[in-house]
Amino acid sequence: MLIVMRDHATSDEIDHVVERLREAGAEAHLSRGEVKSIIGVIGDRETIYGLELEGLPGVEEVVRVLKPYKLVSRDFQEADTVVRAGSAVVGGGAVAAIAGPCSVESEDQIVSTAHAIADAGGTMLRGGAYKPRTSPYAFQGLGEDGLEMLRKAGDESGLPVVTEVLDVRDTDTVAAYADVLQVGARNMQNFMMLDELGSADKPILLKRGLSATIEEVLAAAEYVLKGGNRDVILCERGIRTFESYTRNTLDLAAVAALKTLTHLPVIVDPSHATGRRELIAPMSRAALVAGADGVMVEVHPDPEHARCDGPQSILPSAFQQLMDDMTPLLELDRRHWGREPV
């Protein structure tokens, strides 16, 4: 349920509604705007419906929401959510350029790549320390040693760090090094992890599952927001279809749809979506035209010898060219790269 307050409703009126809901055992999530405030309500439906909230002072309308997600919906918050992590900003016209290798392999590798990304105008550094691999014999990442290298690279280059939390037991360890915690496609419906990240004090980058619907992505994000963490970035990274030429099928229609359904920022990962180096640049440009709030691409100084995902990684020089090509698209749309001075 959503409770729409009248324009310029007073704090006392809003607090009274919230208190009434809590007395009934419901959760109240307030979205306070300059003119209008909206209260998202979660709890037993029959109990809430029996409160006759329409008659409370300051209440304009009570909307019964049938969707499985409420807090992520534009019905709850019309204005775009803006997520900040260090010097990086995503959403509300600020566009992210997240780049880095699939996995951290050595200190020299990640530090040199980070400087190249920063020099090209990237806004965040990505890299995997814990790697979920289909084969148990594939490189699984360097673990906490990789996190230390990633943190050093981020500090030296001035870029906030994005890395994946693979297991809920590693949340605190990863959060000690990273600025943004990534939930991979395989963990999108790991509800125990989503609950845990709802109480984290770091932004969450939530990737779409391999076969997840748009509604399922939003419901997964709802878990995090329900826990109190409003800083969530959604990531379209391709879905599994019958097509075998590309690694996955990049669903840019989902990007446009999500921008209408949710206030959360939406970025695109063309590296995992296509799995082909030559398709990353055109799909990155297409993503921005479709309305994406950023791209996340794999960049490696020596893709031929990368320990994972070499065929879908581009050289730092190619990333520089990509940034040069994407910048005019942002300017046409009156948007900008999401960088703020530290």
The full set of domains in the chain, from first to last, is 2-63 (3.30.70.1140), 83-337 (3.20.20.70)
Residue appearing with tokens 């997840």: 212
Judged against a pLDDT cut of 70, whether residue 341 lies above it is answered with no
**pTM for this entry:** 0.86
Over 70: is that where the pLDDT of 136 sits?
Answer: no
Burial class, 50, CB count within 10 angstroms (exposed 0-12 / middle 13-18 / buried 19+): exposed
pLDDT for 158-179, tens place per residue? Answer: 999 999 999 999 999 999 999 9
| pLDDT band for position 55 (cuts 50, 70, 90) | confident
How many helices (DSSP H) and strands (DSSP E) are in the chain?
Answer: 11, 15
pLDDT score for 110: 97
Alpha-carbon dihedral 139, 309, 164, 91, rounded to 10 degrees: 170
Instruction: Report the SS3 class of residue 225.
Output: helix
Cβ count within 10 A of residue 301: 18
Tokens, residue 240: 């599994």
What are the strands, taking DSSP E only, across 155-278?
161-164, 180-183, 204-207, 232-236, 266-268
Token pair belonging to 260: 């209408």
Q: What is the C-alpha separation between 183 and 206, in angstroms, rounded? A: 5
Q: At what angle do helices 316-332 and 107-120 cross, to 10 degrees?
A: 30
